Amino acid sequence: MKDIELDAIIEDYLQGKLTAAEASAFEELRVNDPSIDQKVLTHKVFLESLKEYGRVLSLKEQMDRAHSQLDVAALSQKLGPHPSVIVNMWRKNRSAVAVAASFLLLTIFSIYSIQHNTKQNGTYEVMRREITNIKNNQNKLVRTLNSTPRTIKGPVGAAKFGGTGFALTANGYLCTNFHVVRDADSVYVQNNKAESFKAKVVYRDQQYDIAILKIIDNSFVPLSNLPYKLKKNNIGMGENVYTLGYPKDDAVLGEGYISSKTGHGGDTTQYQVSIPINPGNSGGPLLDNYGNIIGVITAKENQVEGATFAIKSKYILEALNAIPQDSLGKKPAFAKKNPLQGLNRTKQIDKIENYVYMIKVYN
Amino acid sequence: MSNKLSNSVPTDREVVLGILNNSEDALNRLYVGYFPMVLQFILNNNGDEDDAKDVYQEAIIVLYNKIKGGDFELSSKLKTYIYSVCRRIWLKKLSQQSKKTNNLSDFEDVVAVEVDFEQHEEKEIQFEKMGSALVNLGEPCKTIIEDFYIHNLSMQDICEKFGYTNTDNVKTQKYKCLQRLKKLFFQS
């Protein structure tokens, strides 16, 4: 069989033009002769490619005809990039511009808020406690139930404000904040055994927010020697400190550290302390690990977490010096050697507790 | 931003049925309907009108093959599909011209068309090969082959068209031409 005839037969076979008998005869030939089989397959692939080529070509012709109906120039005019460079830049870089803008905004905001923080615009909140009637009623109930043999002294009415104070001398001089006793008609102090004593304000210093009280109650028994001493020098940042105060009717311990050597708005008469305090803590002593008094709790910043302010102990001494020596009785007898030094925290507090008072203010 | 397409755009169903029935009208309407979308995309991404035409026609061929292939499932809108294919083709062309391909401005949603695109690339290679083989074949062989296999003219028609004395001569001529074309096609 010549190649040309074989080719014609293969083509007819692939296009299904052979009769059934011819087709089966040819298939037998294919099976017996691999070279013919190979030729059939090759031709099949080739024909398909050619058909495909033809199809795509005619499709392209059709599309070209469709394309010629379009007014491409007018469309490009309408849909193409805007002739203005600026509009184009905006369209292409829209997302980048958006990112840049939000970054800028963020930066402005954060700079603003940092400045905001350095100014410490947050209001300065003094920590005296307004005692509500409800609380007081509860207290009275508890005390009645206890029915201690001691008669409870002091006025029966409700105290308006509460704070904390601590003994400066054994004969009844106490230190507290000026703002605690600011509008006081009468002041009572209460120790940790719930004994109340009448006191009067003998010294006020609005500038440093310090007040000195004197217990004038007859039932007051002079204390034994003070366990702590006033530290005259400044203390370093990071020093661990603690305070005892009366944010409720029992003494509460607060612990923290000196977080800045200056107070609200850079006030050099104060420390900033990171310590949790509440209304009622005002006037409480701030002590270091060795039991030295290093300051008086006065206030906290209400928009900043953990920013409490304490007046440096130096100004307590100045206040003490302003009081005539003879009325102080004995010279404020701060121990030369600190008896608290070396004791652990619990023992220290045990001793100090008797010298920290709740200040109750009536007006 | 994206301009509204004219009302003459056929529904997706019309297009699929039209292509299956080889309707030229359906193809026409499809072509006219979505060309502005592609033109807008290409013009705004460093291309010109001719690029738009080439890319768009390739995309239509991809769609056509997909529908004709029989396994066509409309998982997205036709518009989205065409746009995605065009986008993919244009990305390839841009990278061939070593232009930057990030930061394309998009005007439509995009669906994944990677599989279809790869199939299309293979077919495109076959198409190019056949095209160049036919060009190298030269006349009159090219026309004889095209007339017989693509335009489906009979031997008699070709015989008359080329002025052969009888169809056997045409058959011999066609056979020789075909052998050469095969050689060219499989060699390239």
Q: Looking at beta carbons, which residues of chain B come within 8 Å of A70? A: 32, 35
Give dist(CA A82, CA A99) in Å, integer: 23
Q: Is the pTM of this model over 0.95?
A: no
Q: Report in angstroms the alpha-carbon separations of B104 from A11, B45, B99.
A: 49, 6, 11
Residue A105 has pLDDT above 60, yes or no: yes
Same domain, yes or no: B117 and B143: no
Same domain, yes or no: B26 and B109: yes
- List A163's β-bridge partners, or say none: A359
Predicted pLDDT of residue A330: 59
CA A242-A244-A250 angle, to 5 degrees, is: 145
Same domain, yes or no: B160 and B80: no
Predicted pLDDT of residue A165: 92
Between A91 and A231, residue with greater pLDDT: A231
Decide if B5 is inside a domain.
no
Average pLDDT over residues A204-222: 87
Q: Based on the structure, what is the number of domains in chain B?
A: 2
Same domain, yes or no: B178 and B109: no
- List A189's β-bridge partners, or say none: A197, A359
Predicted pLDDT of residue A150: 39
Dihedrals phi, psi of A296, to nearest 5 degrees? -125, 125
Decide if B87 is inside a domain.
yes
Predicted pLDDT of residue A135: 45
Predicted pLDDT of residue A6: 77
Same domain, yes or no: B44 and B90: yes
Average pLDDT over residues A321-332: 69
- Report CB contact under 8 Å: A53, B61: no
Q: Looking at beta carbons, which residues of chain B come within 8 Å of A51? A: 149-150
Unique residue bearing structure tokens 């953990």: A306
Q: Report in angstroms the alpha-carbon separations of B98 from A11, B84, B92, B93, B184.
A: 45, 21, 10, 8, 31
**Among A50-54, B7-11, B134-138, which is the least confidently predicted range?**
B7-11
Residue A321 makes CB contacts below 8 A (sequence gap 6+) with none
Looking at chain B, which residue has its C-alpha nearest residue A62?
B24
- Residue A211 burial by CB count (10 A; 0-12/13-18/19+): exposed, middle or buried? buried
Residue in B57, B134, B178 closest to A60 by CB: B57
Instruction: Check if the beta carbon of residue B32 is closer than 8 Å to that of residue B52.
Output: no
Residue in A50, A58, A79 closest to B43 by CB: A79
What would the pLDDT profile of A180-209 be if each residue is shown by its tens digit? 888 888 899 988 888 889 998 888 888 888
Residue A32 makes CB contacts below 8 A (sequence gap 6+) with none
- Report CB contact under 8 Å: B32, A72: no
Residue in B32, B127, B130 closest to A70 by CB: B32
**Among A8-12, B102-106, B175-179, which is the least confidently predicted range?**
B102-106
Predicted pLDDT of residue B158: 78
**Among A217-221, A332-336, B140-144, which is the least confidently predicted range?**
A332-336
Distance from CA of B32 to the nearest CA of A (A): 7
In percent, the amount of chain A with pLDDT more than 90 equals 8
Decide if B177 is inside a domain.
yes
What would the pLDDT profile of A249-260 be if each residue is shown by its tens digit? 888 898 999 988
B46 lies within 8 A of chain A by CB: no
DSSP codes of every residue in A261-300: SS-GGG-TTEEEEE----TT-TT-EEEETTSEEEEEEEEE
Predicted pLDDT of residue A120: 54
Give dist(CA A74, CA B181) in Å, integer: 43
Same domain, yes or no: B29 and B66: yes
Decide if B2 is inside a domain.
no
Select the residue from B20, B51, B61 to test the A interface by mutation, using most A Cβ atoms within 10 A: B61
- Report CB contact under 8 Å: B149, A47: yes
Residue A183 makes CB contacts below 8 A (sequence gap 6+) with A361, A363
- Report CB contact under 8 Å: A50, B130: yes
Peptide bond into B140 cis (omega under 30): yes
B154 lies within 8 A of chain A by CB: no
User: What is the CB neighbour count within 10 angstroms for residue A13?
Assistant: 19
Select the residue from B4, B8, B23, B31 to test the A interface by mutation, using most A Cβ atoms within 10 A: B31
Decide if B45 is inside a domain.
yes
Unique residue bearing structure tokens 């004038």: A216
User: What is the CB neighbour count within 10 angstroms for residue B155?
Assistant: 17
Half-sphere exposure for A264 (CA within 13 Å, toward CB): 20
Token duo for residue B179? 């052998």
Same domain, yes or no: B145 and B171: yes
Decide if B1 is inside a domain.
no
Supply the range of the domain harboring residue B93: 12-121
What would the pLDDT profile of A156-171 be if each residue is shown by its tens digit? 556 677 889 999 888 8
DSSP codes of every residue in chain B: -PPPPPTTPPPHHHHHHHHHTT-HHHHHHHHHHHHHHHHHHHHTTT--HHHHHHHHHHHHHHHHHHHHTS-----S-HHHHHHHHHHHHHHHHHHHTT---SS----S-----HHHHHHHHHHHHHHHHHHHHHHHH-TTHHHHHIIIIIS---HHHHHHHHT-SSHHHHHHHHHHHHHHHHHHHHH-
Average pLDDT over residues A272-280: 87
Predicted pLDDT of residue A327: 67
Same domain, yes or no: B146 and B115: no
Q: Does the model's ipTM exceed the 0.90 cut?
A: no
- Can you tell me whether residue A61 is helix, strand or coil? helix
Residue in B36, B44, B129 closest to A81 by CB: B44
Give dist(CA A184, CA A189) in Å, integer: 13
Domain boundary among B67, B95, B121: B121
Alpha helices per DSSP H over chain A: 3-14, 20-32, 34-69, 72-79, 85-92, 94-119, 133-146, 314-322, 345-352
Predicted pLDDT of residue A154: 46
Would the CA dihedral through B128, B131, B132, B133 be positive or negative?
positive
Token duo for residue A259? 């977080």
Same domain, yes or no: B109 and B34: yes
Predicted pLDDT of residue A285: 92
Residue A221 has pLDDT above 60, yes or no: yes
- List A187's β-bridge partners, or say none: A199, A361
B44 lies within 8 A of chain A by CB: yes
Domain boundary among B69, B93, B121: B121
**Among A187-201, A283-297, B14-28, which is the least confidently predicted range?**
B14-28
From its phi and psi, is residue A251 left (phi > 0), alpha (psi between -120 and 50) or beta?
beta
Token duo for residue A15? 């296009």
What would the pLDDT profile of A119-134 be if each residue is shown by its tens digit? 555 566 776 666 654 4
Decide if B130 is inside a domain.
no
What would the pLDDT profile of B24-56 be if each residue is shown by its tens digit? 888 888 888 888 888 888 888 888 888 888 888
Instruction: Check if the beta carbon of residue A287 is closer than 8 Å to that of residue A175.
Output: no
- Residue B150 burial by CB count (10 A; 0-12/13-18/19+): exposed, middle or buried? middle
Average pLDDT over residues B62-85: 81
Residue A74 has pLDDT above 60, yes or no: yes
User: Which range, A119-123, A130-134, A283-287, B3-7, is most confident?
Assistant: A283-287
Give dist(CA A206, CA A363) in Å, integer: 19
Predicted pLDDT of residue A109: 87
Distance from CA of B105 to the nearest CA of A (A): 6
Decide if B133 is inside a domain.
no
Residue A57 has pLDDT above 60, yes or no: yes
Instruction: Check if the beta carbon of residue B62 is closer than 8 Å to that of residue B98.
Output: no
Same domain, yes or no: B109 and B16: yes
Same domain, yes or no: B112 and B151: no
Give dist(CA B79, CA B85) in Å, integer: 10
Domain boundary among B93, B121, B149: B121
Token duo for residue B58? 């390739």
B160 lies within 8 A of chain A by CB: no
Residue A281 has pLDDT above 80, yes or no: yes
Dihedrals phi, psi of A196, to nearest 5 degrees? -105, 140
Same domain, yes or no: B76 and B149: no
Residue in A50, A72, A80 closest to B149 by CB: A50
Give dist(CA B113, CA B87) in Å, integer: 10
Select the residue from A53, A58, A88, A99 to test the B interface by mutation, using most B Cβ atoms within 10 A: A53
- Can you tell me whether residue A172 is helix, strand or coil? coil
